[in-house]
Amino acid sequence: MSVNGVPATLGQSVTEADDIRLDGQLIETQRVEAVTFALYKPRGYVTTARDEYGRKNVLDAMPDVPGLHPVGRLDRDSEGLLLLTTDGDLTQTLTHPSFGHEKAYRAWTEGEPDEVALDALVTGVKLDDGVAQASHASAALGGAHVVLTEGRKRQVRRMLEAVGHPVTRLLRYRVGGLWLGDLDVGEYRELGRRELQDLLDPAATPPQVRDRQWERIRRRWG
């Protein structure tokens, strides 16, 4: 195979403007619009593209769309908002630490974190892979709300355990400016242009819209 007269390489990106040939025959290309979904990931599902242990995969809960992949991770024991997309640029934007997109969680814990514990989450707690900080932490019935701008493996769980309150249930309800909304466990919806804009630019979302979403979360999960 060649691209613009040069032998193609594994993983090479192409556009519809490129001259792509297989055994000298021109291959017609056309642009396929990227799609992005919001899924309420159930507990027990893994977010890896493939799982050698045969466990339930989030792609099993989605329509069969070529190139669809989860954006980042949400561990097997956690639930809530997970994005899946065919847009590699969107994945890069949402997962690269330099962009600092917020992720908000509702945690239920053993014992209720007091102000000292909540302040420690924001000030920073030492984990085995370095100090971790929440951008915001507040009390909730039987646990806490925690907002992060980074995404280390099982970070919320490890942070709360470090301040003496192991997590018994963990739900993510917001990524950037996109909220879980009224999705039920296992349900998904395709995101429209406005939701993608809110996702990437939360500051552009009208305050009254954010307030309604937050109130919806508080009524539903405390």
Confidence of residue 16 (pLDDT cuts 50, 70, 90): low
Please report the pLDDT score of residue 97 as a whole number.
Answer: 77
Candidate list 75, 128, 184, 211, residue with the active-site label: 75
Residues of the chain with pLDDT > 70, as a percent, come to 91
What does DSSP assign to residue 46? Answer: B
How many residues are recorded in the chain? Answer: 222
- Sign of the CA dihedral running 155, 135, 88, 188: positive
How many other C-beta atoms lie within 10 A of the C-beta of residue 153? 9
99 vs 11: which has the higher pLDDT: 99
Please report the pLDDT score of residue 31 as a whole number.
Answer: 55
181: left (phi over 0), alpha (psi -120 to 50) or beta: left
Angstrom CA distances, 75 to 46, 93, 157, 193, stand at 6, 20, 10, 28
Is the CB of residue 174 less than 8 Å from the CB of residue 221?
Answer: no
Tokens found for residue 193: 């242009």
Strand runs labelled E in 61-215: 69-70, 79-85, 103-109, 125-127, 130-132, 136-140, 143-148, 167-175, 178-179, 188-190
Q: What are phi and psi of 139, to 5 degrees?
A: -75, 150
Please report the pLDDT score of residue 48 as a whole number.
Answer: 79
* Local structure of 71: helix, strand or coil: coil
Active site residue 75: yes
Least confident of 20-34, 102-116, 146-160, 163-177: 20-34
122 vs 18: which has the higher pLDDT: 122
H helix or E strand, kind and range, residue 208: helix 207-221
Q: Which long-range contacts (CB under 8 A, 24 or more apart) does 43-48 make?
A: 43/76, 43/77, 43/78, 43/79, 44/76, 44/77, 45/76, 46/76, 47/72, 47/73, 47/74, 47/75, 47/82, 48/73
The class (CATH top level) of 36-221 is: alpha beta
Please report the pLDDT score of residue 54 as a whole number.
Answer: 78
Q: Indicate the domain borders of the chain.
A: 1-31, 36-221
For residue range 21-57, list pLDDT tens digits in order. 777 777 655 556 899 999 999 999 999 767 677 788 9
Residue 10 has pLDDT above 60, yes or no: no
Block residue for tokens 């792509």: 20
Least confident of 114-128, 161-175, 195-209: 195-209
Confidence of residue 7 (pLDDT cuts 50, 70, 90): confident
For residue range 168-180, list pLDDT tens digits in order. 999 999 999 999 9
Task: Give this prediction's pTM.
Answer: 0.84
